[in-house]
Structures are given as structure tokens and as C-alpha cells.
Structure 1
Amino acid sequence: MTWLRAVVAAGLSMVFPGAGHVVIRDWLRALLFAGLYLVTFWLFFPVDQIATAESFSEAMTITSEVDMLSQLTLLFVNLIAAFDAVIRALEFSPNAAGDDGGATCPECGKELDEDLEFCHWCTARLEPSPEEEPAQS
């Protein structure tokens, strides 16, 4: 399941940076990468010409005539967002392990709320520990 989430996050980040981070519920990074993508597009592409284009094909023609450095800059933002989404989805981030002594999810490894019977991060159902099971009479 984790690999599937990582692949989906990477694919969505290649379509629009930040969308992959939404899948893994990393809201701050989603806003960061979406904003970085939009600012990069605004800085390196002729936004005013694209906005005044009369058809979609004309807008694509204008976009394709942009120099290679601008296109590579936008591609670089996409690749960094996809790579970061994969790393975050596979739980390689420094704060994902939850080493502060609290209970962690057996599926995703993130911290759990003790009152819930499921992980609120990955929705995995949690089995109660033997000392928590009620005694049957």
C-alpha cells in the first residue's frame, strides 16, 4: 500500500506539483510546491500572452516557443516535488518515525491517538493489545 501511495503521489506531483503531497496529507508542502510552481511559471513564461490567447492551441503554441532554460526550470520544480512526495510517502522523513515513546501505527509508523481504533493517517484498523481487551464473563 505504501508503494502504491508513493507512485500515485509522484505521478500527481508530475502533473501539478503539490497534488502528490495532498494525497499523503502533507498540506504545508503541498502549498509550498504549488506556490513554487506557480511563481516559476509566472516568472519564466509569458503569462500575459497566454492569458490573451484566443484558443487553447494558440496558448500551447506560445508556451512551446519559450526558451529551453525556462522549460527546464519548470521541469526541475516538477521533479523535485515528485521526488519529495515519494520520500515523504515512503516515510523516510526525519520526523515520521515518532521516537518520542508514543504508540505508532504498524502500517505507516506515524504517531497514534490512543483513543482511536484506527490510524487517522492511513486508516489502518488497529487491533487492541491483550491487556486492553475487556474480560469476558
Structure 2
Amino acid sequence: MQRRPVVAAALAVVPALGHAYLRRWTRGIAWLSLLTGSALVFAGVVGVGVGDALAASATWTGLASGSALVVPLGVVIALSSADAYVLARRDARRGALACPQCGRGVDLSLGFCWYCSVEFEYVER
């Protein structure tokens, strides 16, 4: 199944969800850890309580409350979304198969091109 890059980027606004959609579990956990670590570090710098920082990192409502954590956590979330988008684009490009007759994308499980009806020979890789 081909994953859509825009969906992955939109889901990545919630930490690690876009990477879970792409089935990149380790990378999603790494982004979630980075976000939590950033919340803890900037909570210590700004003087916000640790509980407030973790709550702010978990939801956009916490970020929208006007705390000083908005910029650093927003940057981490934006980078996570960009990473999920780039990964999905790379996976889509790598896994794309084209019909030799018409050049459109094909599904090999059908055994023929949906657009021009050319039948495919099964080749074991």
C-alpha cells in the first residue's frame, strides 16, 4: 500500500503519529523523545514546571496557551512533519511501478494495466 506524503505530514503534527502511519516506529519514538526532551530542557530554562512542559508538548492547546515553549516545541513538531513528508515522498518514488505500454502506475496484484489492458508476466525477484 502506498502511503500519501500529505497525510503523513498532517498526522506528524501529533508527535510520532505520522511516522507510525509510515510504519517507521523507531523514528517516531525518536521524534517523540526529542520533543519530550526539548520540553524538559526548555522548561528548566524558562522556569516552567516539568508537568506543565510535558502537558504542553503533548497537545496543541498547551502550546497555544502562550507559554515560552511555543517556539522550540513548534520547531521540533514542524521538523517532524517535514521528515514524515520527505520519507513518504521517498518511499512513494522508490516503490512506483509503471506500465511499459502507457507509463502510468500499476498494481501488480491485478496482473494487467488498468488503463491500457496490457497483461504482465510474473517475474520472481
User: Which of the five TM-score ranges fits, normalised by the shorter chain?
Assistant: 0.5 to 0.7
Normalising by the residue count of structure 2, what TM-score does the alignment of the two structures yield? 0.58
- Distance apart, 1:48 and its partner CA: 3.9
1:13 aligns with 2:12: yes
In the alignment, what sits opposite 1:64?
65
Judging changes above 3 Å, is the alpha-carbon distance between structure 1 residues 44 and 131 closer, same or farther for their aligned structure 2 residues?
Answer: closer
In the alignment, what sits opposite 1:90?
89
Query: Quick check: which one's helix share is greater?
Result: 2
Partner deviation per Cα, 1:32-81 (whole Å, 9 max, x = no partner): 10111111112223344539xxxxxxx959x83532xx321100000100
Judging changes above 3 Å, is the alpha-carbon distance between structure 1 residues 10 and 48 closer, same or farther for their aligned structure 2 residues?
Answer: same
1:130 maps to amino acid: E
* 3-state SS of 1:15 partner: coil
Judging changes above 3 Å, is the alpha-carbon distance between structure 1 residues 29 and 48 closer, same or farther for their aligned structure 2 residues?
Answer: closer
Judging changes above 3 Å, is the alpha-carbon distance between structure 1 residues 6 and 131 closer, same or farther for their aligned structure 2 residues?
Answer: closer
Normalising by the residue count of structure 1, what TM-score does the alignment of the two structures yield? 0.53
The whole-number CA distance in structure 2 between the counterparts of 1:24 and 1:49 is 30
* 3-state SS of 2:12 partner: helix
The whole-number CA distance in structure 2 between the counterparts of 1:130 and 1:37 is 48
* Paired positions, count: 96
Q: 1:106 aligns with which of 97, 109, 115?
A: 97
Contact 2:40 2:50 in 1 (8 A): no
Judging changes above 3 Å, is the alpha-carbon distance between structure 1 residues 92 and 75 closer, same or farther for their aligned structure 2 residues?
Answer: same
- Structure number with the bigger relative contact order (C-alpha 8 A, sep ≥ 6) is 2
In the alignment, what sits opposite 1:116?
none
In the alignment, what sits opposite 1:50?
52
The whole-number CA distance in structure 2 between the counterparts of 1:50 and 1:44 is 11
Gaps of 5+ in 2: 54-60, 99-106, 113-119
Percent identity over paired residues: 23
In the alignment, what sits opposite 1:37?
35
Gaps of 5+ in 1: 52-58, 98-103, 108-123, 133-137
1:82 maps to amino acid: S
